[in-house]
Structure 1
Amino acid sequence: MVTIREIAKQSGFSSATISRLFKGDESLAITPKTKEKIITTALTMGYDRSKIKTTLYKIAVLFWLSESEVQEDVFFRNLKDGLKKYGKIAGMELVFISREKGIESIPEDVSGFIAIGPITKEELTVLYEKGIKGVVRGINPTPKLFDTVDSNTREMTREAIDLFLAEGFTKIGFIGGKFFNPSTKKEELDNRERAFREHLANKGLLNEKYIFTKGKFTMETGIELAKEMVDSLKDDLPEACFIASDTIAVGALQGFNDKGVFLPNQMALISVNDYEMAKFVTPPLSTFHIDIEEMAKSTIDLLSDQLVYPRDITKTILLSANLVVRKSFIPFTNSN
């Protein structure tokens, strides 16, 4: 068992200082760098983290989303709560910073950052040059500079298509939003749409007329695109449709209903996220369950790992997801 005396010898600071720090003595006057050096030394030596009662690190959470986007998307609300929960367990003080305030407002004494939302390559490069360790949640324009945590939406997309094909569906559609690139200020293909196009093209079944995408991942987008699909294709609708998110899917259900398209009889649907509302719409959505709590935990764990054990390479974690089967699509194997 590692002792405070051993930590003192290794770090170069007195046992008394280390003891007061670990007990959370707020009257202790030491610099943030000294505090970080002592704690990092202790953890590297294998000291029990639970015995350190003070905050280990101050972490800037770059929440690059508007309040309306957060309120509209339950994913980000839950992710924020998860980061707070696991950050506290890891001894992190999280300081949330909005896009309006920018990276210039990051406190000088932070040990690391977590980026949530569309951060630019230029912003990340500035943080790298300052020597700040960080994790990007979602699309990372600098994967060789910082760690990444994301959902494996490409694999979910391929799995959805394979499930449809196993049921004998060959006319497969897609409804989704666009990825807004903050560096170019232009809309680009979302990863789900890319995977959809690639996988169906490899099967020789890609049909452009069944793909409807635009704008943000909102219910309004879903309503508009579902109506556009019906107005455009009329009686030649796809037999099955993969929808990029539950939020869009809920809107699409309303749009199809308004147009007199009855689901799942006329079209099977699979979506992504497994929000609470997916259970209560008509029909209830079959959707891939993204474990937001595990995503928050993985993000905190990756950052903690970097701070305690600095490394020259980056890591990427892609979280898989299981399909929660409900009435919008029931695979044959689940119907018995």
Structure 2
Amino acid sequence: MKVTLRDIAEKAGVSISTVSRVINDDQETPVNEETKKLVWQLVKDMGYSKYNGSSKRSSKKIGYILNNTSNIFNHPYFSVLLDAIETEIKSQGYSVGFSFVESDIKKESVRHQIINDDVDGLILIANFIDEEFAEQINENYKNIVSIDFVSDNFNNDLILIEKKKAAYNAVRYLIEHGHEEIAYIGGGFVGGQGMKKSHRYLGYKKAMDEKNLIINEQWVRNGDWSLEGGYLQMMEIIKAEKIPTAVYTASDLMAIGVFRAIQQSGLTVPDDISVISYDNIEMSKYSNPPLTTFHVPKREIGKLAVKLLLDQINDQNPGFPLKIMVSAELVERESVAKIK
């Protein structure tokens, strides 16, 4: 039996308009927090959905949930990935139904919209989705593709980039050029948590350990995935008693900041300090000198994610979750020198 706004209002002892304002997150006439909590709890308990009692028809729309990367739609890595996704969605006759970042989904109104929207499938480019909401997504969506997002709560098609292997190969490349004193500037999740658990740090560590090279903890820094973070952390490394001969940065954006710190300190890349990175964003070939990095095929990944999702929607997938590993390939430029 269909649950209506009237049913929830009667149970909560409030008006139908109050329930509607809560569900639609009306900011002009806000509802007090206690009533909000009661209404959302009843929405969950009573199984309210604007689609209750009717079957979902294809909307030709796709939704996605993104990580909390600052200014993500203009980010030199993610903007390319998202543009590829949206271009492919449109070329297949679909449109974007919604796009939210992780901080948005802390709001009950946004969670309700995601669960009850009429999109045909979801693309997840997130770092973390809590278990309760993950269960709700699973209950309401059978068509899901994740890009670089692994969670025990989901059993869906995955596209994973071999970050650990790329980092390992980058550090091995530095070692083959005679470098033994190698710094690492990476990033964690939001707030810098989990940097040393990241695949890129583990790849760096594996390459160093294999050659019995010492990891100087003063040279392991969290650049928070930003230009400024790369710059500030490299300045701290340069202030230390001893400086490394090379740096591996976990993203090109941080590497550009590292370049500035090195050059501002009266040193040069690569004669004094070599730099190798990961991403191959557009500006990396225009840095001074051009940055040696590992190329991630962002456009191809975006198009592939849409293809996998549409295969699910159109019942053309093999009937079991796919896991696709994507390699990052070395792009040799001019930012690494051999130790003389």
TM-score (normalizing by structure 1): 0.74
TM superposition shift of 1:143 = 7.1
Aligned Cα RMSD in Å?
A: 2.7
* Structure 2 match to 1:116: 125
Give the direction of change, closer, same or farther, for the CA distance of 1:66–1:186 in structure 2 (3 Å limit).
Answer: closer
Aligned equivalent of 2:73, options 57, 70, 92: 70
Which digits, 9 at most, give the CA deviation of each residue in 1:211-230, with x for residues without a partner?
32225200010011101111
Query: What letter is aligned with 1:231?
Result: K
Instruction: Tell me, yes or no, if the aligned pair for 1:144 and 1:314 is still in contact at 8 Å.
Output: no
* Structure 2 match to 1:211: 219
Instruction: Tell me, yes or no, if the aligned pair for 2:178 and 2:338 is still in contact at 8 Å.
Output: no
Instruction: Tell me, yes or no, if the aligned pair for 2:135 and 2:153 is still in contact at 8 Å.
Output: no
Report % sequence identity: 23
Matched residues in 2 for 1:280 and 1:199: separation?
28
Instruction: Tell me, yes or no, if the aligned pair for 1:210 and 1:238 is still in contact at 8 Å.
Output: no
**Residue ranges of structure 2 left out of the alignment (5+ in a row):** 1-52
TM superposition shift of 1:67 = 6.1
What is the aligned length? 277
* Structure 2 match to 1:191: 199
Matched residues in 2 for 1:34 and 1:212: separation?
51
TM superposition shift of 1:147 = 2.1
* Structure 2 match to 1:240: 246
Structure 1 residue 251 corresponds to structure 2 residue 257 = yes
**Residue ranges of structure 1 left out of the alignment (5+ in a row):** 1-30, 37-54
Matched residues in 1 for 2:83 and 2:316: separation?
26
Q: Equivalent residues in 2 for 1:132-171 (5 A)?
A: 132-142=142-152, 145-171=155-181
Instruction: Tell me, yes or no, if the aligned pair for 1:197 and 1:206 is still in contact at 8 Å.
Output: no
Instruction: Tell me, yes or no, if the aligned pair for 1:172 and 1:210 is still in contact at 8 Å.
Output: no
Aligned equivalent of 1:322, options 324, 329, 335: 329
Which digits, 9 at most, give the CA deviation of each residue in 1:76-128, with x for residues without a partner?
11111100111123333222322326332124322210112333142323211
Which digits, 9 at most, give the CA deviation of each residue in 1:26-63, with x for residues without a partner?
xxxxx995855xxxxxxxxxxxxxxxxxx7x3221123
Instruction: Tell me, yes or no, if the aligned pair for 1:114 and 1:135 is still in contact at 8 Å.
Output: yes
Give the direction of change, closer, same or farther, for the CA distance of 1:201–1:261 in structure 2 (3 Å limit).
Answer: same
Aligned equivalent of 1:105, options 113, 138, 141: 113
TM-score (normalizing by structure 2): 0.73
SS in 1 for 2:79: helix
SS in 2 for 1:213: strand
Instruction: Tell me, yes or no, if the aligned pair for 1:144 and 1:313 is still in contact at 8 Å.
Output: no
* Structure 2 match to 1:83: 85
Residue range with higher mean Cα deviation, 122-131 or 292-301: 122-131
Structure 1 residue 128 corresponds to structure 2 residue 135 = no
Matched residues in 2 for 1:297 and 1:280: separation?
26
